[in-house]
Amino acid sequence: MAKSTGASTSPNYNAFAADLFTLVVDNSVDRNVVFSPASIQTCLTVAYLGAEGETAEEMRNALKLGEGDKNAVIKKYAELVKSSFKSTNAQGGPLLKIANRVFANHNLKISGTFQKLAKEYFDTTAKLLNFENAAESVAAINGWVEEQTNNKIQNLLQEDSVNSDTSAILVNAIYFKAKWTRQFSESSTRKSTFYTLNNGHVHVDLMYQDDYFRYADLPELDATALEMQYENSDLSMLIILPREVNGLQNLESKLSGFNISQIAERLEGEHVDVFLPRFRIEFDIDLKEPLKKMGITSMFSSNANLAGLFVSSVPQKISEVKHKAFLDVNEAGSEAAAATYLKIVPMSLNLNQKVFRVDHPFFFAIRDKTSVYFSGHVVQP
């Protein structure tokens, strides 16, 4: 995943996913990880609509939105989001939906321009809440997230997440459910050993199938890769498996210099014996520090400029960016969900056949040719 620094001149949305992934996994070496770059990027881009000055410049650079007129840059990104989600919701295909909402303090007035553009670009609406009633407000926000993610993301916010000083909470939710084009047979699933980091091991349900898949040896990463397609869509899961049992951290450090799309282009059809564990991940993270390391600093400080968000209010800043995600992979396919919120406050076999045996920690990404919807790693199914 190509790492990039400095000001962006043209959009490179996947570079944001790559930069963020590197920072997230650095602090989660021994945890299963799943998060949605698409969810986080969209939530931050909605906030960028209301940002001005240095705050807006930092966000544009980190989000890899490219140079140009602010509205044109946002519109271009929004069109990509709309086309990606529209095309994947074809009949018989995966369900992939994204939803955004602004929950604002009923004592504040949201800018009419912000509301108009948020609706036009991201189909985002605003709901006014009395944040003095924390329990009721949190229940309303969590209920909306649960509805958007088929109840997979629950309790995104805790009751102490809001109070009378909270100005607004921007929420993005993404939900994904799909069947494999080539499904595994449950009768082929067997108990097997999965080797964990630091010479441990656990017994897992290891799925198996023998078919044609896109596969590649990646000697420069000391790894192999396999792509598993989802039915009736351009979406797939890319799995990159280090050759060494304890090779995940080394692999992920090398991935920071690679573009996922370039890796995918090297895959070729092969007859492969695939062994893949069932796995289920729930993961949550505070993104404030990773985003600061990516250059988004002023929006968290007293220098934040979110003047385009509210009408005639005291200056506001973002106090929290939280993300919670879920992924379930089994014989039939995958189910995933994620939610992000920003809180704004005042200031053996045929020898010629390839074997892809996923029996130790690995990296994965759910993607199409333009976007990474979910990525992460599994250290213990």
Q: Does residue 207 sit in the same domain as residue 303?
A: no
Residue 376 in 3-state DSSP? Answer: strand
Model pTM? 0.89
Q: Does residue 355 sit in the same domain as residue 208?
A: yes
Q: Does residue 119 sit in the same domain as residue 197?
A: no
Are 84 and 368 in contact by the 8 Å Cβ rule? The answer is: yes
Provide the CATH number for the domain around residue 260. Answer: 2.30.39.10
47 is a domain residue: yes
Give the integer Cα–Cα distance in Å for 104 and 50. Answer: 13
Q: Does residue 200 sit in the same domain as residue 78?
A: no
Residue 232: the pLDDT is: 86
Q: Does residue 211 sit in the same domain as residue 84?
A: no
Q: Does residue 150 sit in the same domain as residue 271?
A: no
**Inter-CA distances, 122 with 10, 31, 70, 323, Å:** 21, 33, 15, 19
The segments of the chain whose pLDDT lies below 50 read 2-8, 348-349
252 is a domain residue: yes
Give the integer Cα–Cα distance in Å for 209 and 358. Answer: 12
Which structural domain range is residue 107 located in? 13-179+281-346
7 is a domain residue: no
205 is a domain residue: yes
Q: What is the count of structural domains for the chain? A: 2
Q: Does residue 153 sit in the same domain as residue 191?
A: no
Are 280 and 261 in contact by the 8 Å Cβ rule? The answer is: no
337 is a domain residue: yes
Residue 93: the pLDDT is: 72
8 is a domain residue: no
Q: Does residue 213 sit in the same domain as residue 162?
A: no
Residue 326: the pLDDT is: 92
* Residue showing tokens 């890769």: 225
Residue 297: the pLDDT is: 95
Residue 348: the pLDDT is: 45
Buried b (16+ CB within 10 A) or exposed e, 147-156: ebbeebbeeb
Q: Does residue 204 sit in the same domain as residue 106?
A: no
Residue 80: the pLDDT is: 87
Q: Does residue 272 sit in the same domain as residue 285?
A: no
Provide the CATH number for the domain around residue 111. Answer: 3.30.497.10
4 is a domain residue: no
Q: Does residue 121 sit in the same domain as residue 269?
A: no
Q: Does residue 121 sit in the same domain as residue 218?
A: no
70 is a domain residue: yes
**Inter-CA distances, 138 with 53, 73, 81, Å:** 31, 33, 28
Are 286 and 320 in contact by the 8 Å Cβ rule? The answer is: yes
